Structure 1
Amino acid sequence: MEFAISDQIRSVHAPPITEVKGWLASREPDPGRPLIDLCQAVPDYAPARQLTDYLATCLDDPAMAKYSPDEGLLEVREGVCARYGRVYGAAPAPEGVCLTIGASQAFWLAIVTLCRAGDEVIVPLPAYFDHPMALEMLGLRPVWLPFDEKRGGVVDPAAVERLITPRTRAILLVTPSNPTGVVTPPDVIHELYSLARRRGTALVIDETYADFIPCGAAPHDLFADPHWGDHLVQIMSFGKTYALTGYRAGCLVASDEFISHALKAQDTMAVCQPRITQHAVLYGVRHLDDWVAGNRLMMERRHDLFRSVFTRPGNPFELAASGTFFAWVRHPFPGRTGREAARRLAVEAGVICLPGEVFGPGLEPYLRLAFGNIREEAIPEAVERFRGLAV
């Protein structure tokens, strides 16, 4: 007798990047027109050479193959906190940091510590698809805040407050946004934090792309509030920051008490972040600030070039919102889904991107484009393929 798959997980959609790349099976390779990948937000540049040289020296240490404390090595967490002080102007204590296997695991830790089945989490649209997938698997209800194109995708705190109910356990914010690239201004973040405090809920901020905010501006100064941990939970990643996506380098930042409970889940889920990843993070936070700033400037140039070329007259696709890593685009096919538009781009134009509907309900008119994989010299050709697709 065949075993049963849970109905709860059956109802969750499959990973969208895998689906999109599967469409290419029907496309004949064209050496003169190679595939342009605007699908996954993976830096196309390698980690800093001095970092990889350092890691090579670590591998001879037998301790590198052993567990660390669940929350991570103290010297790594101290180094992370010192970098927070440089970036944010204030920092959590090491006891408020848990190193995780990417930001995705940090999100799981945050949510299982905050919520129980049947609770609600307010999720602004468009949403990074892994977040609602996780919520639905855990039996939680995402409460959708509609995308407001007139506000440029910036969340309206007053609209968030109207969605709060007695079941609301968290307000989720991703800034800079994946998928739109939009940076939430610090004053709006403060309003959301004040709202969470006033209504007795948590503000959960995913700042995976915080190191790509234009001009290197500080994302916010919430850590300067001595009581920040009462209502703030932060999710962070070093994967994009140091081009270590495969190393799965993330962290969860919260109050000491919150982390003490999250470690119960950490121990049953992963035990600890791998030591080699922790040493990569430690080297990065100690030595690579200038390297990170250089890559931010490079990604800003990519975005600025893309925006200037894409918005020239005659493009049937419209730019709805964008930022250093992403563009959120309205496709020109009325009555067609984003999936249909994205598949046409993949098969006919050799450009892969993600359909809007994988980022939440009602987003079929949109597509997400990512700049991580495309160098500046390839951007004009990529935009021409959009312009050339028959409407």
Structure 2
Amino acid sequence: MVASPPPSKPVLAGATARTAPAPIKAAKAWLAGHDPAPGLPVLDVSQAAPSDPPPQNMRDAIADFVRHDPEAHLYGAILGDAELRVDFAAHWSHAYKAQVSASQVAITSGCNQAFCAVITALCSAGDNVLLPVPWYFNHKMWLDVMGVEATPLPTGKNLLPDASLARHLITKKTKAICLVSPNNPSGVEYPDAVLNAFYQLAKDHDLTLIIDETYKDFHSNPKRPHSLLDAPDWKQHLVQLYSFSKAYRMTGHRVGAIIANKALLAEVEKYLDTTTICASRVGQFAARWGLNHLQPWLADQRKEILQRQTFLKRNFETLERQGWELVGCGAYFAYVKHPFASSGADLAQKLVAEAGVLCLPGDMFAPPGTRNAAKHLRLAFANIDQTNLKEMIIRLSNLTFQLAPDCSEA
């Protein structure tokens, strides 16, 4: 009697099959697959997140809350704890010299969930959203899952999107334009004039302009990042997204925010109720505590990040002489063009093995086949100080990989 073959695994063809695997997970796997060069401990510039915990006084406050307040362990309001919404609205109003009310704020389980909730409220399968390239890959991934087309918006050499070009990409199915400023992956800060041009474009076509401001607290402008909230009708066309993770080193607590009109937040509330019900109560406590107690500390953190940017720009000349180009630098990121024949994931894995540098290739932030995307790298320097930044530059300058034909004379 012939034995029956073992049953085959079912082919998973649900909505998540429409998108790519998590890029950060893929990059971390390169560490397991390669032994870094001897004497070169890994410099991990792959993930845009602080690795240090919150300051001790914040951790002490969190511990007291967990030990002594029963609310730490219970469900809360779907759109967030009232006290946090009030305090965050006041913080946002002060930062943008505008009037934002608590009813225009929703608290989410991280900024990625904020994006997912807004897109789910605005879009249906078959719609499209304009995303400048290079884009933040988690935005693209959620659009894929939703069956929403991510319409690539090319950027110029300065990596700034152009509203006049975007106008020609808008169709009857376009529901939103999503910008990230300061940008991930490029670090570029979008000037106020650029943001206002996109706001006017959204207004002209009755679209929603979504601005992910995860890195707002590390903007080089000491006053305010933009003037969009000056528009009397901003509530009709503007949505802002924010993350507490980067500012207060609380990535594991997963707390983000949405600033939008009440009607949109009523739809967002349905999404939040069916996914997480509410953001972590402990995380919300931490976010509010940070808002109310850590502003001087945060100012010092911003100063340190800006100093790293300046240091990197000043010391990049060593690499420029070898054909490298610093295309963008801001917030946590340097977006660089390399001179080598190898590119994409192939080059990134070689960098781990031969230089002990773990970073992400540019084609993780672009549609397949995008010209020159794989010739770029994102270096996220939030976790390395100036000493290690210098070490990273030295290691990259010592590489002897084959040059691309157009860089052989650099």
If the length of structure 1 is used for normalisation, what is the TM-score? 0.96
1:76 pairs with one of 72, 77, 84: 84
Deviates more, 1:114-123 or 1:369-378: 369-378
The CA deviation at 1:215 is 4.2
What SS does structure 2 have at the residue aligned with 1:268?
Answer: helix
Partner of 1:288: 294
Structure 1 regions of 5+ residues with no counterpart?
none
**TM-score (structure 2 length as normaliser):** 0.91
8 Å contact kept, 1:331–1:341: no
**Who is 1:96 aligned against?**
104
Match in the other structure for 2:405: none
Task: Choose which of 166, 169, 188 in structure 2 pairs with 1:163.
Answer: 169
Helix, strand or coil at the partner of 2:248: coil
Task: Return the letter of the residue paired with 2:171.
Answer: T
Shift of 1:51: 1.4
Of 331, 338, 341, the residue aligned with 2:338 is 331
After TM superposition, the structure 1 stretch with the greater mean CA deviation from structure 2, 312-321 or 108-117, is: 312-321
Instruction: Measure, in 1, the Cα distance between the counterparts of 2:208 and 2:314.
Output: 38
Residues 173-223 of structure 1 show CA distances to partners (whole Å, capped at 9, x for unaligned) of: 000000000000112111111110111111011000011001433111222
Q: Post-superposition shift, 1:125?
A: 0.4
CA RMSD of aligned residues (A): 1.5
Residue 388 (1) aligns with residue 392 (2): no
Say yes or no: does 1:356 pair with 2:366. no
Structure 1 counterpart of 2:377: 367
Which runs of no fewer than 5 residues in structure 2 stay unpaired?
1-6, 402-410
Moved over 3 A (4+): 1-4
2:273 counterpart of 1:256? no
Indicate conservation of the 8 Å contact 1:118/1:139, yes or no. Answer: yes
Q: CA deviation at 1:118?
A: 0.2
Q: 1:376 aligns with which of 379, 383, 386?
A: 386
Deviation at 1:225, TM superposition (A): 2.8
Task: Please identify the structure whose Cα radius of gyration is greater.
Answer: 2
Change (3 A) 1:235 1:298: same
The match for 1:34 is: 41
The Cα of 1:319 is off from its aligned counterpart by: 1.1
The alignment partner of 1:99 has SS state of strand
Cα separation, 2, equivalents of 1:211 and 1:76:
18
Aligned mates of 2:389, 2:237 — CA distance in 1: 42
- Amino acid in structure 1 at the alignment position of 2:312: F
**Helix, strand or coil: the match of 2:241?**
strand
Alignment size in residue pairs: 388
**1:144-183 residue pairs with structure 2 within 5 A?**
144-149=152-157, 152-183=158-189
Instruction: For residue 8 of structure 1, report the CA deviation from its aligned partner.
Output: 4.4
Pair 1:346-2:346 in alignment = no
State whether structure 2 residue 110 is matched by structure 1 residue 124. Answer: no
* Residue identity opposite 2:316 in structure 1: F
Superposition deviation, residue 63 in structure 1? 1.5
Determine the C-alpha separation between the residues in 1 that align with 2:153 and 2:306: 28
Q: Say which of 146, 164, 172 aligns to 1:138.
A: 146
Q: Is the 8 A contact 2:36 2:355 kept in 1?
A: no
Q: CA deviation at 1:137?
A: 0.8
Letter in 1 for 2:391: E
Percent of residue pairs identical: 36
What SS does structure 2 have at the residue aligned with 1:316?
Answer: coil
Q: Secondary structure at the match of 2:130?
A: strand
Is 1:297 aligned with 2:307? no
Partner of 1:196: 202
* Alignment partners' CA distance in 2, 1:226 and 1:148: 31
Corresponding residue to 2:65 among 58, 82, 98: 58
TM-superposed deviation, 1:167: 0.8
Letter in 2 for 1:277: G
3-state secondary structure, aligned to 1:121? strand
Q: Is the 8 A contact 2:248 2:298 kept in 1?
A: yes
* Contact map agreement 1:317 1:386 (CA 8 A) in 2: no
* 8 Å Cα contact 1:23/1:346 also seen in 2: yes
Check the 8 A contact 2:209/2:238 in 1, yes or no. yes
